[in-house]
């Protein structure tokens, strides 16, 4: 722009004086001005700019194009409101062309036309005001509103990230629990791999953090940028090709595996990594996740870290929170007895201190009810909670989520044994004597395995062979390409992020970025 031109011209003027000191300043300044297509007036200004730069290291900012008699529709509150309404209505389908068409339609309405005529009179425009905007103008307006045109990549989902219930879980459950575990024996390492010794509370085992995630590698997912000569584009498949899903466990010091010096007799393999070639009916389910964790990951952990307790961290995916078929869930129960409803495990009436079967006994007087599910009404009657006329559900929804008098399902759902029901993955891990904690929803920045996937996929793309067999060979090499030290640094970055959240920083702010990306030597917990 004009300010860049001023600084460049001053630089050339100074350099020219050093090269030709015998010539007068007026001649040299005119030569520089002419090189920019200007004349004597610019040469005179150039000498003034040079003196200003030498004395104060400052050149006056140009005011060209800043005359307030120039009117933009973007300054109109009605146009801004129309823009925001359109952007909110289309969501991810926002395009500059669509925005231009929407604003044009708005400008051509009768009330806006009248306003345009008033503006024209004020600004003394002689020609008729234009009642439309171009796609290029729409792009410029989007840039001014903070939008950027960029590739869609995996990252933080901002809307859900700051949702009230998500923030509450992060600040009141996840972060306090994890911090407490740091003070009760969660192992930490130094950069060179030395274990930091801690005094364990009485009766506590040393705990090892183990995080988990799944990711998919595709056969045709190769380099996205490369050096190309004379526009000779390489031929590529249109689709990403066949995929292999990888389920992986990481500790802060590397992938979960049995060290080479320890025998793996009785174990399925040395590393906890699971591969699944998806397609047709072959896909990752909650049952496979439970099987992978209980039959592979935990035995490997107990062999690699004998006598230690694992703290497994999972994201809040539906596969990780899936319930067993007999779990105490009111959504699997009818109001009345029998019928098509699940056979649930026994409950527990805490107010009476006794177990409660959810099934009628085999010696029940009514032969048709023997061994059948009791239903919500009967279960509540046995607990002394049933109220005459109580409906199964509130319609449209319960107004008070803490009330046990509004409907039968909520009344039973709020009972202590139903509230304590956990997913089958968590139940299985805790039954083996280990701990489970779930990441807050939409908080991928807290799981250091996400950075591990990015590094592994970079290697996979660099070495892509564009075939399924090539993908099978490449994935193990890509996973091994991420060093233990790199994983440890990813882990530390996530700890800095958690520390920033504990201190009240909001994601994306300048303070947050300062804490996460620059505080490399900060103590973590």
- Say whether pLDDT at 390 is over 50: yes
Give, in order, the Cα–Cα distances in Å from 37 to each of 30, 34, 43, 141, 399.
10, 5, 11, 32, 73
Instruction: State both tokens at 441.
Output: 């929803």
Report the range of poorest mean pLDDT among 151-160, 212-221, 239-248, 383-392: 151-160
Does residue 40 lie in a domain region? yes
- Say whether pLDDT at 104 is over 90: no
Give residue 523's pLDDT.
Answer: 43
Does residue 234 lie in a domain region? no
Q: Do both 256 and 379 map to the same domain? A: no
> DSSP 3-state assignment of 128?
coil
> DSSP 3-state assignment of 454?
helix
Give residue 327's pLDDT.
Answer: 92
Q: Is residue 349 packed enough to be buried (19+ CB in 10 Å), middle (13-18) or exposed (0-12)?
A: middle
* 425 against 126, higher pLDDT: 425
Q: Following CA atoms 510, 514, 517, 523 in sequence, which dihedral angle do they give, to the nearest 10 degrees?
A: -140
Instruction: State both tokens at 352.
Output: 């009476």
Does residue 44 lie in a domain region? yes
Mean pLDDT within 10-34 = 90
With bands split at pLDDT 50, 70 and 90, how would you rate the model's confidence at 249?
A: very high
- For the chain, what is the mean pLDDT? 86
Within 13 Å of residue 274, how many CA atoms lie on the same side as its CB?
A: 22
CA distance 208 to 197: 13
Q: Do both 393 and 298 map to the same domain? A: no
Query: Are β-strands 354-356 and 254-255 bridged in parallel, bridged antiparallel, or unpaired?
Result: unpaired
Residue in 444, 523, 508, 413 with CA at minimum distance from that of residue 146: 508
Q: How far is CA 262 from the centre of its chain?
A: 37
Q: Following CA atoms 436, 439, 445, 450 in sequence, which dihedral angle do they give, to the nearest 10 degrees?
A: 50
With bands split at pLDDT 50, 70 and 90, how would you rate the model's confidence at 130?
A: low
Q: Do both 23 and 82 map to the same domain? A: no
Range among 82-96, 335-349, 511-525 rated most confident: 335-349
DSSP state of 463: T
With bands split at pLDDT 50, 70 and 90, how would you rate the model's confidence at 236?
A: confident
Q: Following CA atoms 319, 325, 326, 330 in sequence, which dihedral angle do they give, to the nearest 10 degrees?
A: 70
Give residue 385's pLDDT.
Answer: 92
CATH number of the structural domain spanning residue 175: 3.30.420.10
Give residue 525's pLDDT.
Answer: 42
Q: Do both 331 and 393 map to the same domain? A: yes
Mean pLDDT within 480-493 = 94
Give residue 75's pLDDT.
Answer: 65
Range among 31-40, 242-251, 360-369, 388-397 rated most confident: 242-251
With bands split at pLDDT 50, 70 and 90, how would you rate the model's confidence at 141?
A: confident
- Say whether pLDDT at 516 is over 60: yes
Asked if residues 432 and 426 have their Cβ atoms less than 8 Å apart, the reply is: no
* 426 against 282, higher pLDDT: 426
Q: What is the DSSP string of 363-404?
A: T-SSGGGTTSB--HHHHHHHTT---TT--SS-SS--S-TT-S
- Say whether pLDDT at 483 is over 80: yes
CA distance 208 to 71: 63
- Say whether pLDDT at 114 is over 80: no
Q: Do both 432 and 415 map to the same domain? A: no
Q: What percent of the chain has pLDDT over 70?
A: 88
Does residue 230 lie in a domain region? no
DSSP state of 279: B
- Say whether pLDDT at 307 is over 70: yes
Q: Do both 342 and 452 map to the same domain? A: no
Give, in order, the Cα–Cα distances in Å from 71 to each of 64, 146, 433.
15, 21, 70
Range of the domain at 329: 324-422
Q: Do both 378 and 488 map to the same domain? A: no
Domain total in the chain: 4
- Say whether pLDDT at 441 is over 50: yes
Q: What is the DSSP string of 440-453?
A: PTT-GGG-THHHHH
Range among 53-62, 72-81, 385-394 rated most confident: 385-394
* Boundary of a domain, candidates 406, 422, 438: 422
Give residue 238's pLDDT.
Answer: 74
* Boundary of a domain, candidates 110, 144, 178: 144
- Say whether pLDDT at 348 is over 70: yes
* 196 against 79, higher pLDDT: 196
Range among 137-151, 225-239, 312-326 rated most confident: 312-326
Does residue 61 lie in a domain region? no
Q: What does the chain come to in residues?
A: 525
Does residue 506 lie in a domain region? yes
Q: Following CA atoms 124, 127, 128, 131 in sequence, which dihedral angle do they give, to the nearest 10 degrees?
A: -90
Q: Do both 288 and 407 map to the same domain? A: no
Q: Do both 195 and 305 map to the same domain? A: yes
> DSSP 3-state assignment of 153?
coil
Residue in 464, 522, 438, 454 with CA at minimum distance from that of residue 486: 454
Mean pLDDT within 457-468 = 91
With bands split at pLDDT 50, 70 and 90, how would you rate the model's confidence at 154?
A: low
Residue in 274, 280, 246, 478 with CA at minimum distance from that of residue 470: 478
Mean pLDDT within 429-444 = 94
Give, in order, the Cα–Cα distances in Å from 301 to each of 15, 184, 310.
68, 20, 8
Give residue 122's pLDDT.
Answer: 43
Q: Do both 249 and 310 map to the same domain? A: yes
Does residue 20 lie in a domain region? yes
Range among 73-82, 182-191, 225-234, 375-384 rated most confident: 375-384
CA distance 284 to 292: 11
Cα angle value 36/40/43 (rounded, 5°): 60
Mean pLDDT within 74-79 = 70
Give residue 518's pLDDT.
Answer: 62
Residue in 524, 469, 470 with CA at minimum distance from that of residue 492: 524
> DSSP 3-state assignment of 306?
coil
Give residue 66's pLDDT.
Answer: 59
- Say whether pLDDT at 123 is over 50: no
Q: Do both 204 and 318 map to the same domain? A: yes
Report the range of poorest mean pLDDT among 181-185, 221-225, 229-233: 229-233
Q: Do both 462 and 316 map to the same domain? A: yes
Asked if residues 391 and 408 have their Cβ atoms less than 8 Å apart, the reply is: yes
* Boundary of a domain, candidates 144, 160, 188: 144
Asked if residues 502 and 495 have their Cβ atoms less than 8 Å apart, the reply is: no
Does residue 472 lie in a domain region? yes
Q: What percent of the chain has pLDDT over 90?
A: 47
H or E stretch including 77? helix 77-90
Mean pLDDT within 408-417 = 93
- Say whether pLDDT at 487 is over 60: yes
CA distance 76 to 107: 11
């Amino acid at each position: 722009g004009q300010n860049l031109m001023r600084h460049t011209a001053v630089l050339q003027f100074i350099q020219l004086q050093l090269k030709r000191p015998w010539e007068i300043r007026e001649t040299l300044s005119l030569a520089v001005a002419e090189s920019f297509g200007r004349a004597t007036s610019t040469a005179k200004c150039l000498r003034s700019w040079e003196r200003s730069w030498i004395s104060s290291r400052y050149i006056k900012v140009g005011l060209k194009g800043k005359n307030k008699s120039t009117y933009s529709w973007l300054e109109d509150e009605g146009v801004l409101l129309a823009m925001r309404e359109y952007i909110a209505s289309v969501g991810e389908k926002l395009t500059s062309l669509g925005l231009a068409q929407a604003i044009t339609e708005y400008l051509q309405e009768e009330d806006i036309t009248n306003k345009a005529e008033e503006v024209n009179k004020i600004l003394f425009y002689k020609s008729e005001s234009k009642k439309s905007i171009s796609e290029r103008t729409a792009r410029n307006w989007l840039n001014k509103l903070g939008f950027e045109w960029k590739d869609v990549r995996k990252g933080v989902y901002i809307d859900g990230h700051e949702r009230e219930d998500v923030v509450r879980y992060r600040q009141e459950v996840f972060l306090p629990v994890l911090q407490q575990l740091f003070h009760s024996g969660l192992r930490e390492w130094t950069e060179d791999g030395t274990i930091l010794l801690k005094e364990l509370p009485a009766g506590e085992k040393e705990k090892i953090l183990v995080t988990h995630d799944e990711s998919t590698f595709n056969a045709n997912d190769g380099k996205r940028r490369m050096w190309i000569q004379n526009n000779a584009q390489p031929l590529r498949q249109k689709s990403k090709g066949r995929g292999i899903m990888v389920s992986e466990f990481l500790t802060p010091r590397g992938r979960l595996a049995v060290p080479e010096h320890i025998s793996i007799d009785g174990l399925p393999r040395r590393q906890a990594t699971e591969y699944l070639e998806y397609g047709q009916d072959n896909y990752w389910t909650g049952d496979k996740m439970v099987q992978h964790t209980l039959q592979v990951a935990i035995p490997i952990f107990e062999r690699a870290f004998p006598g230690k307790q694992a703290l497994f961290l999972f994201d809040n995916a539906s596969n990780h929170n899936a319930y067993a078929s007999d779990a105490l869930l009111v959504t699997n129960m009818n109001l009345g007895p029998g019928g098509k409803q699940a056979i649930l495990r026994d409950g527990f009436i805490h107010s009476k201190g006794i177990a409660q079967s959810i099934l009628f006994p085999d010696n029940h007087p009514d032969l048709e009810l023997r061994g059948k599910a009791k239903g919500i009404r009967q279960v509540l009657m046995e607990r002394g909670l049933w109220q005459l006329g109580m409906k199964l559900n509130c319609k449209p929804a319960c107004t008070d989520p803490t009330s046990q008098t509004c409907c039968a399902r909520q009344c039973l759902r709020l009972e202590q044994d139903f509230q304590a029901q956990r997913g089958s993955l968590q139940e299985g891990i805790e039954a083996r004597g280990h701990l489970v904690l779930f990441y807050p929803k939409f908080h991928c920045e807290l799981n250091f395995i996400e950075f591990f996937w990015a590094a592994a996929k970079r290697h996979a793309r660099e070495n892509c062979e564009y075939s399924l067999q090539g993908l099978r060979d490449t994935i193990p090499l890509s996973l091994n390409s991420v060093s233990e030290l790199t994983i440890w640094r990813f882990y530390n970055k996530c700890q800095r992020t958690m520390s920033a959240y504990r201190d009240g920083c909001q994601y994306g702010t300048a303070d947050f970025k300062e804490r996460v990306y620059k505080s490399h030597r900060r103590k973590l917990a």
